[in-house]
Amino acid sequence: MSVCLLSRRMDTYISTADPSVLFCLGVTAAFGIITFYKVKKNQVEKKRIFARDLLVLLLLEILCFVTLKSYVGLILFSMACLICYIYLPVQTMLPVDNKAVLITGSDSGIGHALAKYFDSLGFVVFASVLNKKGPGAEELKRSCSQRLCILQLDITSSSQIKEAYLNISEMVQNTGLWGVVNNAGILGFTADGELLPMSVYKQCMDVNFFGHVEVTKMFLPLLRKSKGRLINISSMAGIQGTSELWAKQEKHLLENLTPDVKKDYGEDYIQALKNFLLHMPVHCASDLSPVLDDVLHALLAKSPHGLYTPGKSAYLGLCTFCYFPLWFYDFFMGKMQSTKSVPSALKASEAKNKNT
């Protein structure tokens, strides 16, 4: 038995010296050198992701040749190399070349940061704001270059959308508009569906959906002329409200509730919902660089992705909602909220069940 075992080990050792093995090692080295060069050339890419994927590729190669015959390993390795190369985020980026970009919702949050970032990179930025005389617009005027143009644009106003289109068309003329970043959005009072008045639903749809659709339809001719990019941003807390705003919305919500519904839920429950909104920044990262880098990649990469989920563990919530049972998603979201935020009627029902 010992002689047979030794013989098999020698066969395995000899097979690793097969020319096909050496060829694959050479391919690995060439692949690594090319990819490192592309990463160095494109500083916007994420080098940690590249290092992780290259390590996975090398481990897969070792697994192929340790456990399988060389020709089988060669096929698997070639397929893995191709898949990994396609998956790697290292791509050729187009030059900025004073490309013109419209960013909606630049008063604050992600839109404000995008306007500053793209201006610093050399883009011609059209930063649309809800209030042209507000603090966000004034800050952009102070901190950005003369290329940046601030536009008054309420995306729920058809007249303001058309006026912005005419102004931008006159400025870009024959070059067209390279990018439209639909970023403007609102985060309404997060509460149970029964509690929210219809005005909240209508406002949410007007801003977060119909406004984006109308802006897109208006500016598509300019995008076609430049063969540019359209980017839609959806964020759970990209433009956070103030404590005064949440207090005002809470008051509006309570005023529109019927006595029976108000009794079943209880004001303590609604107060807990507002407290969750006030403490939401605790769950949000202050570093917006992952978002900025992904939007830049979507604008300039020769082969942009169809979906980006920037931020640490950002994809986790999306996967949980799409691929897991609803009860698991409810449990996941419940952990983010206070355990005391339970409607009064439900508390009474649970207490009654315990007594019986």
- Helices 314-323 and 326-336 sit at what angle, rounded to 10 degrees? 150
What's the mean pLDDT in 47-63? 58
Instruction: Provide the β-strand partners of residue 181.
Output: 103, 231
Q: State the pLDDT at residue 310.
A: 84
Q: State the pLDDT at residue 266.
A: 82
pLDDT in tens, 190-210: 778 888 888 888 998 999 999
Residue 11 clears pLDDT 60, i.e. is over it: no
Proportion of the chain above pLDDT 90, given as a percent: 34
pLDDT in tens, 268-315: 887 777 777 766 666 666 788 889 999 999 999 988 888 888 877 677
Q: State the pLDDT at residue 121.
A: 95
Measure the CA angle with vertex 207, ends 283 and 195; round to 5°. Answer: 65
Please name the CATH architecture into which domain 96-240 falls: 3-Layer(aba) Sandwich (3.40)
CA dihedral 160, 161, 165, 171 (to 10 degrees): 50
**If pLDDT is split at 50, 70 and 90, which confidence band does 189 have?**
confident
In whole angstroms, give the CA distance from residue 301 to residue 107: 27
Taken in order 267, 269, 272, 277, is the CA torsion positive or negative? negative
Q: Which residue has the higher pLDDT, 4 or 307?
A: 307
Mean pLDDT of the chain: 77
pLDDT in tens, 300-354: 998 888 888 887 767 777 777 777 888 887 777 666 655 457 776 666 666 667 7
- Rg of the chain, C-alpha, whole Å: 27
In whole angstroms, give the CA distance from residue 181 to residue 295: 9
Q: State the pLDDT at residue 196.
A: 86
Q: State the pLDDT at residue 8.
A: 41
| Region of 28 on the Ramachandran plot (φ > 0 left; ψ -120 to 50 alpha; else beta) | alpha
3-state secondary structure of 2: helix
**What phi and psi values does residue 130 have, to the nearest 5 degrees?**
-75, -30
The pTM assigned to this predicted structure is: 0.72
Q: Give the H or E element holding residue 180.
A: strand 179-182
Residues 103 and 114: beta-carbon distance below 8 Å: yes
Residue 62 clears pLDDT 90, i.e. is over it: no
* Helical H segments across the chain, by residue range: 2-15, 19-41, 47-67, 70-87, 109-121, 135-143, 158-172, 198-205, 211-226, 243-255, 259-265, 267-278, 289-300, 314-323, 326-336, 344-355
**If pLDDT is split at 50, 70 and 90, which confidence band does 12 have?**
very low
Which whole-number Å values give the CA distances from 275 to 189, 246, 267, 281, 337, in the listed order?
11, 9, 12, 11, 9
Q: Which residue has the higher pLDDT, 269 or 163?
A: 163
pLDDT in tens, 200-253: 889 989 999 999 999 999 999 999 999 999 999 987 665 755 667 777 777 778
What's the mean pLDDT in 183-191? 82
Residue 1 clears pLDDT 60, i.e. is over it: no
Q: Which residue has the higher pLDDT, 326 or 138?
A: 138
In this structure, the number of other CB atoms found within 10 A of the CB of residue 267 comes to 13
Please name the residue that has the structure tokens 């009794």: 263
In whole angstroms, give the CA distance from residue 15 to residue 288: 50
Q: State the pLDDT at residue 45.
A: 45
Measure the CA angle with vertex 63, ends 60 and 66; round to 5°. Answer: 150
